[in-house]
Amino acid sequence: MKISDAMKVLRKSDSENIFNLYVVTEKKMYPFKNMTVGQRKSISKVAIDTNDTTFDIDFHLMYLGVLQELCIDDTFNVSNLTDVDFIVLVADLRRNIIMDDLTITSTCPKCNAKTNFRLEFNKIVESGKNYEPVHFEMVKMINGKSVKFLIDDPLITTYLSYLNYIQVHKTSPKLAELVDIGKLKVMNYPLQFLRDIMIDDEKVSDFNEMNFAKKVKFIDDTFDSEIMYGKDGVFTKIYNDVPDNRVSKLYPLIKCSKCPYERESVVTFDNFFSF
């Protein structure tokens, strides 16, 4: 068989292979077609060309674009995915189109021992199915008006905007001199979870359209710090009620081969499509 004929067969097989993937926050399955050879090559190339995909916004946006292209349900919209939805969907996609496990070498942060472990993607998906989404609200009376803060899991687009906000400050010499990056991350972490604000039952219309930097400015300009960071503040409640390891708990534990230390097996998304 000619190579061109083989590629046609592979592409035909890809287009005919349909499987259902789970969206955590909707508790619903969506039908997806197989990833094409070209899409796999694009993801692999970007992963190879990028030093650290953890903070690479374009890399994550490419994943979102691929997910949107692969879903054959017109009601599916990647803009509605949360950070947890995204991780579980990508893990579910990987186990369907390649295989369910991946062997990774990890270095123990306690004793520096190397440990080979088998990452099972079905366990990430199962953790996602058991995940309890963040969802609550707080009401404050401010200047005689009822202000309701709606708190939910961060949309993946909001999370990426947060990463970009931190990276801009981290990589800009002028901005890095003005702020403590560690403190900046901690102070603004809760803002990811603030989905909407309602004042006297009317939504702040453009809040969800703002990028992260504009949201930071809006909060600073509109609300007293006591409202957000005080003992009973909105962000204080998020700090207290939402575990900062909520996402990492989706991953199985790695146990060090030398010492008793164990931790979640968090890996970057470029690992998801390795063999």
Supply the pLDDT for residue 275: 42
pLDDT bracket for residue 200 (50, 70, 90):
very high
3-state helix vs strand vs coil in the chain, percent to 5: 50, 20, 30
* Residue 102 near residue 118 (C-beta atoms within 8 A): yes
Q: Which of 96, 77, 75, 84 is nearest to 21 (CA)?
A: 96
Q: Is residue 166 exposed (0-12), middle (13-18) or buried (19+ Cβ within 10 Å)?
A: middle
Would you say 213 and 175 are in contact if contact means Cβ atoms under 8 Å apart?
no
Strands 28-33 and 18-23 come out as antiparallel
Please check the confidence at residue 73 and state whether its pLDDT lies above 90.
yes
Q: State the Cα–Cα distance between residues 153 and 85, nearest whole angstrom.
A: 10
User: What pLDDT score was predicted for residue 46?
Assistant: 64
Q: How far apart are CA 202 and CA 177, in angstroms?
A: 39
Average pLDDT, the chain: 83
Supply the pLDDT for residue 158.
94
114-125 tens-digit pLDDT: 888 888 889 999
Given a contact cutoff of 8 angstroms between Cβ atoms, the answer to whether 175 and 168 are in contact is: yes
In this prediction, residue 94 carries a pLDDT of: 83
The string of pLDDT tens digits covering residues 201-248 is 999 988 988 999 999 999 999 999 999 999 999 999 999 999 888 888
Task: Report the predicted TM-score, pTM, of the whole model to 2 decimal places.
Answer: 0.82
C-alpha to C-alpha distance for 128 and 136, rounded to whole angstroms: 19
Going by C-alpha positions, the residue among 14, 9, 18, 12 that lies closest to residue 72 is 18
- What are the pLDDT digits (tens) for 184-199? 888 999 999 999 999 9
Q: pLDDT (tens digit, 9 = 90+) per residue, 32-43?
A: 998 877 777 777
Q: Edge-to-edge strand order for the sheet containing 202-203?
A: 135-142, 145-152, 194-199, 202-203
Is the sign of the CA dihedral 130, 161, 54, 245 positive or negative?
Answer: negative
Terminal-to-terminal C-alpha distance of the chain: 26
Distance, CA of 68 to CA of 77 (rounded, Å) = 7
CA distance 96 to 102: 13
DSSP category for residue 242? S
Residue reference for tokens 């088998």: 118
Q: Give the rounded percent of residues in the chain with a pLDDT score beyond 70.
A: 84
| Residue 237 DSSP code | H
Burial class (CB within 10 angstroms; exposed 0-12, middle 13-18, buried 19+) of 173: exposed
